[in-house]
Structure 1
Amino acid sequence: MITADRPPVAPEPTVPSTAVAATVRVAAKRVEADGVVSLELEAPDGARLPDWTPGAHVDLVLPDGTTRQYSLCGDRWDAHRYRVGVLREPAGRGGSAYVHDRLAVGDAVGLGGPRNNFPLVPAARYLFVGGGIGITPLLPMIRQAALLGVDWELLYGGRTRASMAFVGELAEHGERVRIVPQDEHGLLDLRGFLGDPDPGTRVYACGPAPMLAALAAATAAWPAHTVRTERFVARELGTPARDTAFEVELARSGRTVTVPPGRSVLAAIAEAGVEVLSSCRQGTCGTCETGVLAGEPDHRDSILDDDERAAGDCLFPCVSRARSDRLVLDL
């Protein structure tokens, strides 16, 4: 996951940040495209880093104290190095600018995770669609598919060829990869690439919101569970299911908290003195996932699919609220 450094919709009181499981150092920093750099990270003592699977991301706590989420896009079989890609966001809150302009080889960075909200499931065939920096979580998926000998293709779009990272790395896959700079070829031909719905094919996509909206329209007739997307910018939240206060019971601590309109569950819990780890506060990173024991959540995240929302057994309190008068959380 690549965060877009966008400000939250409304200011919230400070809540505990993501867990920092380790400290890593920047082992290498490279320019990958116009506005994109990659970082290679390693433990200061050369120790093994936690294992991860394609689609995983990590939280990086930068030296200035900001926390950002980035997809792991290196070799998952390299136990001693992680690689991430960072897009410069001129209109952001400064995290990407810090990485581009100030973070240097040898600098220490806090590390949280890895965690995976975008796992690659077994399939007979994969179709990958990447837009801009959204190529990063797809790179290890492609390597995994190639390793397993599974049929796959990639459609990769960007504003210009020069702005598209890792194109040279993808060239080794030949005709399986279609590179489509918008200034040369226009918008992605999603329907032509996807073809007819196929229950044996899984579609994985990551990119900007307009591309994902076009993909949703192009795959409207595809069977359930065959299309999975990841967003690096939170989807439009829309109006909450209810505009009145509701109660949240914290089952393990025995407290009950009232969440008023305009206040997140996360903020209300923090004000009551109960710590919940969080990071993005936009419903994209998954850090604050919390179990629901009773009640009906109003899911407002950009992570869960329709079946996971219908199950109602978890929520992300940084953005989600309640449809019922009361929620009981596993806290």
Structure 2
Amino acid sequence: MSMPTSRLTVRSAVEEADGVRGLLLADPEGAELPPWEPGAHLEVTLPSGTVRHYSLCGDPAERSTYRIGVLREPAGRGGSEELHTAVGEGTLLGVRGPFNRFPLVPAERYLFVAGGIGITPLLPMIRSLPPGTWTLLYGGRSLASMAYREELSVLPGVTLVPQDTEGLPDLDAVLARQPAGTAVYCCGPEGLLRAVEERWPGPLHTERFGAAPAERPVGEDGFEVELRRSGRTLRVEPGRTLLDAVREVVPGVAYSCEEGWCGTCETKVLAGTPEHHDSVLGEDEKASGTTMMICVGRSCGPRLVLDL
């Protein structure tokens, strides 16, 4: 379940758009970086120890650097603010990955729908596809806030929709024009994802940069959890998260978002039936019960056994 953390240095840091900072990461010794495919992301540990996830938005064939784009969110939890103000050329960052839970699947045609910084995982996808097989609808607050717009504007099939001059994208019209079998990829704010989910009956692939709406309140029932490798059994009381209980025994357990969307805390389940509340695992993966996100997951029964 785990992957070693490497140390990469920031080779360059530039402003890609209003509020969006682009970083190129490289091995300090110039070594070739692990390969990746469109849709992949990195888990990045900032100098403060904060862990965040960022989509790779460069060229997979470029093995000397990784490119990420980070939106500054002053009202967020501090990761983007640190990356904008305390990280610059020469800064060393801890990196795990690349990971890919948003892969590009084979299809005859594709529609990509991006909202704001949601363009980052989609950019390598459209660059990997032949012209004429895809279209991109990219909305943002204004042209100045839309990262990579200059790269995109020269590509056929791209429609930019700045809200301040053109309003919101007309999803009904765009989706109605799509032929059957079109694979729709969407990344952006929760409202955009829900709007596309409500309108598109065909193959749909989404990636969230925040938590999806909870299926139902969690934490209503207590249960026991055995941490097999640690040799400890704990009681997870109602209203308390499994992650909080685990951290008492395994303080170094990996976690980041605490909302069930980043995948950092994915843990192998050895026994018991997990109750899933994340937006990372697919339905088949949830049904198998072999792993779970311990930040939001709980137990369907009185006891779970985890590989911790």
- Structure 2 residue 186 is matched with structure 1 residue 205: yes
Q: Is the 8 A contact 1:69 1:285 kept in 2?
A: yes
Q: Structure 1: where are the runs of 5+ without partners?
A: 1-17
User: What is the Cα deviation at residue 267 of structure 1?
Assistant: 2.1
Give the counterpart letter for 2:294 in structure 1: P
- Alpha-carbon distance in 1 for matches of 2:177, 2:113: 16
Counterpart secondary structure, 1:137: helix
Partner of 1:21: 5
- Alpha-carbon distance in 2 for matches of 1:128, 1:99: 28
Single out whichever of 203-212 and 272-281 deviates more from structure 2: 272-281
Task: Count residues in correspondence.
Answer: 307
The structure 2 residue matched to 1:151, chosen from 129, 133, 152, is 133
Q: Is the 8 A contact 2:218 2:239 kept in 1?
A: no
Counterpart secondary structure, 1:173: coil
What are the within-5 Å matches in structure 2 for residues 257-296 of structure 1?
Answer: 257-273=234-250, 276-296=253-273
What are the within-5 Å matches in structure 2 for residues 220-235 of structure 1?
Answer: 221-222=201-202, 226-235=203-212
- Structure 2 residue 287 is matched with structure 1 residue 303: no
Partner of 2:197: 216
- Alpha-carbon distance in 2 for matches of 1:64, 1:241: 30
Partner of 2:306: 329
Give the counterpart letter for 1:171 in structure 2: S
User: What is the Cα deviation at residue 117 of structure 1?
Assistant: 1.6
> Cα–Cα, structure 1 residues 69 and 279, in superposed 2: closer, same or farther, change >3 Å?
same
User: What is the Cα deviation at residue 19 of structure 1?
Assistant: 6.3
CA-to-aligned-CA distance 1:284-303 (integer Å, 9 cap, x gap): 22122123344332211121
Give the counterpart letter for 1:284 in structure 2: W
Q: Is the 8 A contact 1:20 1:110 kept in 2?
A: no
- Structure 2 residue 59 is matched with structure 1 residue 82: no
Partner of 1:185: 166
- Alpha-carbon distance in 2 for matches of 1:182, 1:296: 45
CA-to-aligned-CA distance 1:209-268 (integer Å, 9 cap, x gap): 11111111112x33xxx1111110112336435612112234555543321112222222
Give the counterpart letter for 2:244 in structure 1: A
Give the counterpart letter for 1:54 in structure 2: P
What are the within-5 Å matches in structure 2 for residues 61-210 of structure 1?
Answer: 61-146=45-130, 151-174=133-156, 176-195=157-176, 200-210=181-191
The CA RMSD measured in Å over matched residues stands at 2.2
Partner of 1:11: none
Give the counterpart letter for 1:203 in structure 2: V
Q: Percent identity?
A: 52
> Cα–Cα, structure 1 residues 19 and 312, in superposed 2: closer, same or farther, change >3 Å?
closer
User: What is the Cα deviation at residue 29 of structure 1?
Assistant: 1.2
- Alpha-carbon distance in 1 for matches of 2:250, 2:94: 25
Q: Is the 8 A contact 2:219 2:239 kept in 1?
A: no
CA-to-aligned-CA distance 1:122-152 (integer Å, 9 cap, x gap): 2221111100000001011111223xx6711
Q: Is the 8 A contact 1:246 1:259 kept in 2?
A: yes
Give the counterpart letter for 1:160 in structure 2: S
> Cα–Cα, structure 1 residues 237 and 195, in superposed 2: closer, same or farther, change >3 Å?
same
CA-to-aligned-CA distance 1:264-292 (integer Å, 9 cap, x gap): 22222222348532222221221221233
Partner of 1:14: none
Counterpart secondary structure, 1:169: helix
> Cα–Cα, structure 1 residues 196 and 202, in superposed 2: closer, same or farther, change >3 Å?
same
Q: Is the 8 A contact 2:219 2:241 kept in 1?
A: no
